[in-house]
Structure 1
């Protein structure tokens, strides 16, 4: 049934021939760029935006890198530095020939009317594919560093680009063990007033890791106790995972052996820290002797 011109019904335009990704895989390299861009923003800026580069498959989008985009945003209007965008895109594609524009990112905790305009702009850049939007909440310490992924589609009585509904899609952060401390460091700096944070020593990192492990154990204990008390219904998959974890971590460890291994690890950490300080002191003495002679 067709709607007349006077109808007040609201409809959402389906993407049609556009290919919809099922999920988004986000590399840590792109997150480094986004957090660094946020740390360098001006004091009067509410958020920063940038372009996501990556590779598309039939089922998902892999975001491999990103670059910042200069923009101005007031209560009445918004503008993108088109020349800067094109120059950065050209340089990026020269270095990463396989990557293409897959969407855009912004920092903050919410979407607004201007987000629909940005979405429409990047939809023109991605051609027949849907543009991905990553919303990075730098003040959220929840799962995946407060990162949410969206797809956009025009909506309204007569659908317009500046009227857009954002539909969430699953996003997975891919990070190696060596990249996690760097992300945590940038994240901590983004929450400080002057955007700086000291680099922790090995012992301080060990202490923080132990506190995180204790917090995780407390959450698991609270969950198990709630299931036993009947407050919540237990999930068999979680139960099997906990059982496998306990069998893996305690297998072959006799009573007192775990404590002995931990003490040995602490001693190794102290020795490495001592040697590092000794080498640093020797290098400082050598440089001063060179200046004297």
Structure 2
């Protein structure tokens, strides 16, 4: 028989476990709110550590500017590396462990971004967060990828969902529940924020004016009653 080319399929589900710190989730949601109007989603770098038993701890993150279309994606590599250098100065123990995206799952261009981060770290973790938080159990997912190859040629990256451990303290749980209930598409502009602040200040001034008027009226009535009492009743003069 002649030689044949073998199609190598990836193995079954991985045993990798990822632990997500709640501050990372809040940072990602904040970067999504602050995104440009033309952006549908935000991507960024995940920082953390990998323990000796293979557990990945996701401790920090930062957003990375990017542009993408249906068939291509461009990541600002210089910005990514500059931010990583700054983080290394503050906490040199945190290393690149993968990347995140604000989407409900894996999209077509994710394989290209995964390939970039695979050059930064071995077996990068891909974290997805659905910012609508319609279902707490499915809104946050983590993946790793394996290569689908034909002979020596890599065809694509196949994503496998991994176990994600999100542990919240009671105060963090309250904040997470509030985050799910408070839906904000984007932050107000500087002019809108100034207008809202002036409106709140005006309401506060009106409350103070009403309180001051009430105090003046009460004081005036008290003085009038005292004058009447002094003029008509000798007992008041004592």
TM-score > 0.5 by shorter chain: yes
Shift of 1:89: 0.3
* Aligned counterpart for 1:108 among listed residues 103, 106, 113: 103
Counterpart of 1:93 in 2: which secondary structure?
helix
Structure with higher strand content: 2
2:57 equivalent in structure 1: 62
Shift of 1:184: 3.0
Counterpart of 2:128 in 1: which secondary structure?
strand
Shift of 1:145: 6.7
> How far, CA to CA, are the matches of 1:112 and 1:4 in structure 2?
33
* Aligned counterpart for 1:119 among listed residues 114, 137, 153: 114
1:74 equivalent in structure 2: 69
Unaligned ranges ≥5, structure 2: 189-203, 209-238
> How far, CA to CA, are the matches of 2:132 and 2:90 in structure 1?
32
Unaligned ranges ≥5, structure 1: 15-19, 197-280, 286-293
1:36 equivalent in structure 2: 30
Structure with higher helix content: 1
Counterpart of 1:167 in 2: which secondary structure?
strand
Give the 4+ runs in structure 1 shifted more than 4 A: 158-162, 193-196
* Aligned counterpart for 1:179 among listed residues 172, 177, 191: 172
2:141 equivalent in structure 1: 148
> How far, CA to CA, are the matches of 2:123 and 2:83 in structure 1?
21
**Of the two, which has the highest radius of gyration?**
2
Change (3 A) 1:94 1:157: same
Instruction: Say whether 1:12 aligns with 2:9.
Output: yes
Change (3 A) 1:38 1:118: same
Q: Deviations over 1:19-60 (max 9, x none)?
A: x76311000111111111111122321211111101101231
Counterpart of 2:25 in 1: which secondary structure?
helix
Change (3 A) 1:4 1:169: same
Shift of 1:130: 1.4
* Aligned counterpart for 1:45 among listed residues 39, 42, 54: 39
2:163 equivalent in structure 1: 170
> How far, CA to CA, are the matches of 2:97 and 2:139 in structure 1?
20
> How far, CA to CA, are the matches of 1:195 and 1:161 in structure 2?
42
1:84 equivalent in structure 2: 79
Counterpart of 2:119 in 1: which secondary structure?
helix
Does the CA-based 8 Å contact 1:69-1:81 persist in structure 2?
Answer: yes
Does the CA-based 8 Å contact 1:21-1:61 persist in structure 2?
Answer: no
TM-score, normalised via structure 2 length: 0.70
Does the CA-based 8 Å contact 1:135-1:149 persist in structure 2?
Answer: yes
TM-score, normalised via structure 1 length: 0.57
> How far, CA to CA, are the matches of 1:123 and 1:21 in structure 2?
19
